[in-house]
Amino acid sequence: MVSPEAAEIRATPPIPEAIPDFAPDGKLRRNVLDLDDFSAAEILSVLDGTAAMGEVLRRDIKKVPTLRGRVVVTLFYEPSTRTRISFEEAGKVLSADVINMSTSGSSVEKGESLLNTGLTLQAMGVDVIVIRHPHSGAPYLLARHLPRVCVINAGDGLHAHPTQALLDLYTIREKVGRLQNVKVVIVGDVLHSRVARSALWGLTQAGARVTLCGPTTLLPLDLLNCGDERDEGHPFAQVEVNTDLDRAIEDADVVMALRLQSERQSGGFLPSLREYIRRWQVTESRLERAKPGALVMHPGPMNEGVEISTGIAHGGHSVIEEQVTNGVAVRMALLYRLCAQPSAEKLETAG
């Protein structure tokens, strides 16, 4: 399963035995690009792995040798604090060598294409590339052209942010106790949110009930209307849309507020922040309509006082800090899953 050397190191209390090595259906996974190709069972197995990794993070000495000798590169074409540091910490706790490559000061500034940068990293023997890119699909380009590297999407354009979605799922399962039939209201700029899109795949796959809420100009209505009718086979056939937050929030188990970029107002999507706040800010009074003990989540970074009131952001309902903590564990589980898989030949067949 792992190299003899790694097996030996396991003798020093390594990662908990509970971590599953493989996808439950036996299918190996090479890349994490979005959650659209994760079955419910695979999601749950990642969440189980996350719980085990969380145990490592709570130890006095947060270090296991599991990924010793593995090289992880974080390749970020967009600014990021939490995602990047979270991946770096995840890799380092597992003893991988983590190299942060930022686009400024690198060959990217000299005009090197994404593909050539990827090929260069592959030639150096890198095991995992964690990529964030402003263009949707950039991680897919690498995944298609780099057969010897595992690619993890840390956010691509408007498209996907699967590790964020997994940490959200983990946080919900940990706090609510389940995902099946949990009512999740996602409020705000869903249209431009890769977090919301990946969460939509993960939540619907795991059996949660999702309601999208926000200004009609910022809802991805095309995503819900596959073709002209919403047939049952459509992955989002059960997703509801309600622009009235006071209604949408009723009986919610989870309220997920999304970051509102200030350029949405100048882009004409909104009349004013004032009107947005009045209609869609997650506030104390609105939260009273949700289930008692409902969770408030936010992928960060927050605009306190815009999409979320300060009281809520730091109040008893908020699990925003837990989300960040869980983010490290989720990324550990994914790095382990991709790196600790058996042999290169078997990976080849994983596609």
Partner 1 sequence: MLTSADPDSILIQGPRIVDPGRGMDAIGDILITGGKIVSAGPRLSPADLPEGCRPIPANGMVAAPGFIDLHCHLREPGYEYKETIATGTRAAARGGFTSICCMPNTDPPLDNEAAVALVQQRARAEGVVRVFPIGCVTKGRRGKELAELEELAAAGVVAYSDDGDPVYDPNLMRLALTYTLDLGLPISNHCQEHRLCPGGVMAEGWAATRLGLPGIPAAAEEAMIARDLALAELTGGWLHLAHLSTAGAVALVRQARERGVSVTTEVCPHHLSLTDDWALGYQGTPDGGSGPLNYDTSTKVYPPLRGRQDVDALIEGLADGVIDCIATDHAPHEAASKQVTYQEAAFGISVFETALGSLMALVHRGQISLSTLVDRLTVGPARVLGPSFEELATLHPGSPADVVLFDPDLDWVVDTGEFASKGRNTPLEGVALKGRVVTTFVEGKVVHQDSLY
- Shortest distance, CB of residue 160 to partner 1, whole angstroms? 7
Question: Quick one: which of 19, 73, 138, 330 contacts partner 1 (CB under 8 A)?
Answer: 138
Question: Judged by CB, which is closer to partner 1: 22, or 236?
Answer: 236
159 touching partner 1, by CB under 8 A: yes
Alpha-carbon Rg for the chain, nearest whole angstrom, is 20
Question: Quick one: which of 156, 168, 189, 253 contacts partner 1 (CB under 8 A)?
Answer: 156
3-state secondary structure of 304: strand
- Shortest distance, CB of residue 122 to partner 1, whole angstroms? 15
**Of the ranges 33-41, 256-264, 270-278, 300-308, which one interacts with partner 1 (CB under 8 A)?**
33-41
337 touching partner 1, by CB under 8 A: no
Query: With contact defined as beta carbons under 8 Å apart, do 40 and 308 qualify?
Result: no
- Shortest distance, CB of residue 212 to partner 1, whole angstroms? 13
**CA–CA separation, 69 vs 43, rounded Å?**
27
Question: Where do the H-state alpha helices sit in 58-193?
Answer: 82-93, 114-123, 138-145, 162-176
The order of strands in the sheet holding 209-213 is 240-241, 209-213, 183-187, 254-257, 295-297
* CB atoms inside a 10 Å sphere around CB 81: 9
How many residues bind to partner 1 according to rule CB under 8 A?
31
- Strand ranges in 209-337 using DSSP code E only, listed in sequence order: 209-213, 240-241, 254-257, 295-297
Question: Judged by CB, which is closer to partner 1: 281, or 341?
Answer: 341
Query: With contact defined as beta carbons under 8 Å apart, do 204 and 239 qualify?
Result: yes
Question: Quick one: which of 40, 108, 223, 241 contacts partner 1 (CB under 8 A)?
Answer: 223
Binding site for partner 1 (CB under 8 A): 31, 33-34, 36-37, 113-115, 133, 135-138, 140-141, 143-145, 156-160, 194, 197, 220, 222-223, 225-227
